[in-house]
Structure 1
């Protein structure tokens, strides 16, 4: 036989939205206002142990739900972020699952919406390419399919526009390096920002990086003289080798380096 009890009083707590439930004249458990309404609790209502457990479980979900709402009030969050936050608050896994389900039902967590919003924001406010965007969304726990859908908002034409502007800035930043190094630095910068190989090639093709021969010779001579001085303690042959090696790493052509070293030897003579 199921043992029944009776709610003898429902008392509002000082904390808004919380109530104390008294059963058979004694305090039994607290509930939130949402649980009070959902279960239609009233004075004189009969409850058993099973219903009491349901009320307690529902109240745990209600409290976790309110904490999730507070976390979501500041900005959009992915489901993983909300779940991780509730874990940090030491909420039991079963309660978290029920809370996430409730948030889904009210579309308060929606990874597809988050991904779409994030892609639009990055497109309009940053110089990042699709690979960096994808990496960020993966870290936030968004699945591949919503990411793919969101990235459709960032077509190749738009990527080319953003990436070409980045390439032009980088080319100007490294204009006083050898043409080969300049090109390499621009390519690395575009890759680190998340643009793909084919798009990067197109961006580089759009740049006018035709080397100024006189400027390149002057640059080689300037850097060569510094290196030649740095290796002054070495033997002549080793000094030449080290200088040539360092200039080659800086992107200068071997034949131009050899010609400069030859001229240097003649001037020394």
Structure 2
């Protein structure tokens, strides 16, 4: 049987060269050296050599994974995808993930809970967008469901109301109907549901300023009348009325403004 005749440290820290029967055979990491208790004079056969090589592949992949994890929390899928890009074999990746799990260095449940807490305290996302994000990261549905229990209805209302207030300011120069519609769309896009959105909108004062709304109607109306000035009076009136309605103004208010402006609403 062959015998390890020398163990030589490489210039690269944590790496060693193994010599068998006086000849260089293969390299190993320090963790493999320790785990397999390699020493000079130890007998080694082909099967053990293959085990050492496989363990070293895992050790190298493990170190690559640690580098990737050092910047922020990652899911198992993210780590696996990263190792795939490094052309690491599937079997080695699975062994690496197993080792990472043993040391709690990858934990999808912890990742999901941490993400939900971050959104609750600093973000503007609702449960649906959170679920979509976690799915894309490879987190399972049951784990997502458990993490979302942290995002209580009270927390959702607080976050969503803050978003609604910002949207109200953003669209304050729209008609009141359009303002509310855009706020509703904005909240839906951020992952909040219908009943939740109603409560959030109710929590924001959306009482329209009559004078401001009238001034906005006049400004928009004059713009459309000018745009359609080349049309016949009746066609110009129809187009203007149509566009103002699309902008969220009430038909009665539009007709009254057209009459006051000197344009018949008929």
| TM-score (structure 2 length as normaliser) | 0.95
Aligned twin of 2:157: 160
User: 88-97 or 214-223: which moved more?
Assistant: 214-223
Tell me whether 1:76 sits opposite 2:73 in the alignment: yes
Q: Distance in 2 between matches of 1:177 and 1:266?
A: 23
Residue 90 of structure 1: which of 65, 87, 90 is its match? 87
Aligned twin of 1:127: 124
Q: Distance in 2 between matches of 1:212 and 1:42?
A: 85
Q: Distance in 1 between matches of 2:54 and 2:36?
A: 12
> 1:232: how far off?
0.8
Residue 102 of structure 1: which of 75, 99, 102 is its match? 99
Q: Secondary structure at the match of 1:188?
A: helix
Q: Distance in 2 between matches of 1:210 and 1:114?
A: 42
Residue 197 of structure 1: which of 194, 199, 203 is its match? 194
Aligned twin of 2:112: 115
Residue 221 of structure 1: which of 211, 218, 223 is its match? 218
CA RMSD of aligned residues (A): 1.4
> 1:266: how far off?
5.4
Q: Distance in 2 between matches of 1:25 and 1:137?
A: 53
Contact 2:237-2:263 at 8 Å conserved across structures:
no
Q: Give CA deviations for 1:207-233 in whole Å, capped at 9, x if unaligned.
A: 222333333222211110111011111
Aligned twin of 1:9: 6
Q: Secondary structure at the match of 2:25?
A: strand
Matches within 5 A, 1:43-62: 43-62=40-59
User: 200-209 or 53-62: which moved more?
Assistant: 200-209
Q: Distance in 1 between matches of 2:215 and 2:67?
A: 62
Listed as ranges, the gaps of 5+ residues in structure 1 are none
Tell me whether 1:150 sits opposite 2:151 in the alignment: no
Aligned twin of 1:207: 204
User: 188-197 or 209-218: which moved more?
Assistant: 209-218
Q: Distance in 2 between matches of 1:28 and 1:93?
A: 25
Q: Distance in 2 between matches of 1:233 and 1:249?
A: 21
> 1:5: how far off?
0.9
Residue 253 of structure 1: which of 250, 253, 256 is its match? 250
Work out the number of aligned pairs and report it: 264
Q: Secondary structure at the match of 1:22?
A: strand
| TM-score (structure 1 length as normaliser) | 0.94
Aligned twin of 2:261: 264
Q: Distance in 2 between matches of 1:119 and 1:107?
A: 19
Contact 2:75-2:137 at 8 Å conserved across structures:
yes
Q: Secondary structure at the match of 2:3?
A: strand
Aligned twin of 1:29: 26
Matches within 5 A, 1:157-196: 157-196=154-193
